[in-house]
Structure formats: structure tokens, C-alpha cells
Amino acid sequence: MTSALDTALPTPAAARPASGTPVLKPLQIGPLTVSTPVVLAPMAGVTNRAFRTLCREAGQSAGFDPGLYVAEMVTSRALVERNVEALRIVTFGEDETPRSAQVYGVDPATVGAAVQIIAGEDRADHIDLNFGCPVPKVTRKGGGAALPWKRQLFTDIVKAAVDAAAPYGVPVTIKMRKGIDDDHLTYLEAGRVAESLGVAAVALHARTAAQHYSGQAEWEAIARLKEAVRTVPVLGNGDIWSAEDALRMVEQTGADGVVVGRGCQGRPWLFADLAAAFNGSDLRVRPGLREVAETIYRHGRLMVEYFDGDEGKGMRDLRKHMAWYLKGYAVGGEKRHELALIDTLAELRERLDALDLTAPYPGDDAEGPRGRAGSPKTPHLPYGWLDSRDLSEEFEAKLREAELSVSGG
């Protein structure tokens, strides 16, 4: 039997007419034209096929091109080893286009081999490289946000990826932070180097690794990068919680598009607002609890499908989304707790049905920051990492071992 939940949710946005003039011109990422310059940020543990489906459908419901939706990062080594979970990360919905993957790695040859797999086996249409991850298990190995500090290594990785993808016409982009800390900023140099090596766009999360997710993203840095990188799009990222924030970012920085992460956790309908806003429409989705509950259930169904029918796995993965979905809604502590402990779809249905589904959209309480925050942290780096911009021979030898074989944040 087909339930209404098997199909795209009829969001309030779908009923409203599209109008207005686009705020920016389409985003051109190599051969890909993305009419609405909005990108779902890759988020490990979040932007899998299930969640991307909800975000994309919301974007489409506004009646415009929905934008670009990047999968969770996949580590190059895991992909080269053809690890089952790594291969699962690089799977896309049947109608998902463009298919966008993100690769993480610290060894040029392994990154090149991973890109060869993705592009050569036609597994994605776009590949982003992760130079922004601040988590200790990544930076400790010289990866993510720590990597652009080593100029030659950064150059070699970007070049390996661009060269491996070029024969297949797959564009490569980079996503980075400002640098390791305020005394070790790398983004302007890295942006220019990547541009000269043939990347199709550069994205900046306007924080340093030391800032982690604390404080405010410094959008001013996005404006500086836009001045430095002249021939490919510059995308701005950090602290976009609403469509209005996104418009403000492009106005203040001159960015060619926006990348949105935590703002859409538990509210995939933000992509309807974003698509509308960039197409000059004031349409905004403000769901009541019934619509939120339907989205959660559909998320659950999609999650189970993503994990090949494994309900336990799907429900465990869904649990972390509950608090995000319910932020600001009138749902008591006990009911929230129960929803965060579901094991089966039947339990999920039962516990959602037990909510007061007539509760309306709660206004400001549902808005604003969500997801990771925290305080600044001294980045964990390999011993002596900051002493030189060049890689020591000893460390170079360690790089291949340093490739992580599992995906991180």
C-alpha cells in the first residue's frame, strides 16, 4: 500500500506561486549550472541520501531549481578499499541531480585513486574536497583544516583530484576554513592555488579550526576571498540560520552562493525558504507539529531504505535528529525522550501519533542556531606541524598510514 509518506510532502510552499527576480546569477560549477546558488553543506552523519532527499524535495517544492546537495564526506582510503559503508555514502537518489560527493584524504595518490573511482565509475557529477574538518582525529593526522598549511601537500592533493576527474568532465571544488588559527591563516593562498589548479569553485567556512563551531563566522573573510579568487565562484559558509541570513551574506560578501549546514538540521524545509529567497519570492515554510511529525516519519522510512531495510540501524541514526526537529515545538520532555529511543518504525509512528499534532509553528523558538556550537579549542596537530610550511620526509612517509579508513565529522 502506498501511503502519503512515500511521496514528497506537500509543504505549504508548494501551494504558493513563484515570483520575483533571481537575486544572483546561476552558479556555474564547471559544466554544471545550478540555477539557485544554494548548497547543502556536507555533514558527516547527517547529509546521507535520506536527509538529502527531504532537503531537495523541500527546495523543489518552492517551484524553483533546488540547488546542490552534497553527501557526507567519504575518506579516500575507505573508498579505495571499497569499504561497504564508504560506498553507501556515495549513493544517490534515482532522480538526484547533480550527484555531489565529498572526499577527504591526506595522501595525493589515495585521493586521486578515490576520485578516479567516483568519476571513472560514474558515481557522482561533482566532487568536493574536504579541507575544513576541525575534529581532532582528523587534524591530528594533518588532515582537514590542518592540511592547507602544508602548501605542497595541499597543491598535490588538489592537483591529483582535478587530474583524475578531468577526463570524465567531473568538476572538483574545495571547501576550507580560514586556517588553523588567527596566526596561521591559509584561505587566501589556498583559494588562489586551487583556482590556478583548475578547481571549479571554492567554499569558505569563515572560521579557523581553533574556533571549531564557537562564536560567529567572520563573513568579512568571505569578502576577502571573493577579492582574491576572480575566475571561479566563491561560496560563503557559516551561521546561515534563515533565508534572510543567506541573503545578507551574499549582500555583505559578494559571494556567488551560500553553503548551509546546521541551519537545516531538523528543518529540511529551510531549502524551500532558501530557493524562494534567491528567486525573489517571500514564500517561507512555517510548519505546524503535524507536518514536522510527517517529515520525521518520512525521514525514518527513507533512513531504513538507505540502510537496505535495517530498521534498527535506520532508527538509531534518526534519533539524533529528534531534538533538532522538535526545537521550539510544544513537546514535553518525556515524549522527546521516548522519541530519542525508538528502535522500529512502528514505535516511531506510535510515539509521533501521541504528540499534540495540532500544535502550531512556534515562531522564534524554532528559529536561530542549532546543532554543534561549543567553545574554541586548540587544534590537535601532528608534532611540529606549525614549524614549517613544508612537509618533512619523515611525515610524508607516514601519510599513507594516516589515511583514515572510516568517515568522521
Distances (CA, A) of 317 to 43, 115, 340, 351: 13, 27, 10, 17
| Residue whose CB is less far from ligand FMN, 77 or 175 | 175
CB 279, CB 272: distance < 8 Å? no
CB 130, CB 407: distance < 8 Å? no
Residue 260 makes contact with ligand FMN by CB under 6 A:
yes
Residue 409 makes contact with ligand FMN by CB under 6 A:
yes
Contact region for ligand FMN (CB under 6 A) — 59-67, 117-125, 185-193, 236-244? 236-244
| Residue whose CB is less far from ligand FMN, 360 or 368 | 368
Side-chain-facing half-sphere of 226: CA atoms under 13 Å: 20
Site for ligand FMN in 65-104 (CB under 6 A): 72-73, 102
Element at 346 (helix H, strand E): helix 345-353
Contact region for ligand FMN (CB under 6 A) — 42-50, 79-87, 183-191, 285-293? 42-50
Q: Helix, strand, or coil here: 72?
A: strand
| Residue whose CB is less far from ligand FMN, 77 or 205 | 205
Q: Helix, strand, or coil here: 252?
A: helix
Of all residues in this chain, which one has the CB nearest to ligand FMN in the complex? 261
Contact region for ligand FMN (CB under 6 A) — 29-37, 113-121, 125-133, 336-344? 125-133
CA dist 166 and 70 (Å) reads: 19
- Which of 24, 38, 39, 46 touches ligand FMN by CB under 6 A? 46
Residue 132 makes contact with ligand FMN by CB under 6 A:
yes
Q: What is the amino acid identity at position 325? A: Y
Residue labelled with grid coordinates 543567506: 246
Residue 332: CB minimum distance to ligand FMN, A: 26
CA dist 401 and 80 (Å) reads: 14
Residue 263 makes contact with ligand FMN by CB under 6 A:
yes
- Which of 29, 32, 34, 41 touches ligand FMN by CB under 6 A? 41
Q: Helix, strand, or coil here: 236?
A: strand
DSSP structure string for 272-323: HHHHHHHTT--------HHHHHHHHHHHHHHHHHHTTT-HHHHHHHHHTHHH
| Residue whose CB is less far from ligand FMN, 133 or 293 | 133
| Residue whose CB is less far from ligand FMN, 46 or 118 | 46
- Which of 56, 99, 159, 175 touches ligand FMN by CB under 6 A? 175
- Which of 30, 37, 42, 67 touches ligand FMN by CB under 6 A? 42
CA dist 126 and 310 (Å) reads: 29
Residue 48 makes contact with ligand FMN by CB under 6 A:
no
Contact region for ligand FMN (CB under 6 A) — 24-32, 35-43, 289-297, 387-395? 35-43
Nearest to residue 29, comparing CAs of 298, 358, 260, 256? Answer: 256
C-alpha angle 159-161-164 in degrees, rounded to nearest 5: 105
Query: Which member of 41, 117, 133, 165 is catalytic?
Result: 133
- Which of 239, 256, 291, 403 touches ligand FMN by CB under 6 A? 239
CB 161, CB 103: distance < 8 Å? yes
- Which of 240, 275, 276, 342 touches ligand FMN by CB under 6 A? 240
Residue 44 makes contact with ligand FMN by CB under 6 A:
yes
Site for ligand FMN in 362-391 (CB under 6 A): 371-372
Residue 373: CB minimum distance to ligand FMN, A: 9
| Residue whose CB is less far from ligand FMN, 44 or 296 | 44
Buried b (16+ CB within 10 A) or exposed e, 43-66: bbebbbbbbbbbbbbbbbbbbbbb
CA-CA-CA-CA dihedral for 263, 267, 268, 269, to nearest 10: -110
Residue 45 makes contact with ligand FMN by CB under 6 A:
yes
133 included as an active-site residue: yes
Positions in the binding site for ligand FMN (CB under 6 A): 41-46, 72-73, 102, 130, 132-133, 175, 205, 237-240, 260-263, 371-372, 409
Write out the catalytic residue numbers. 133
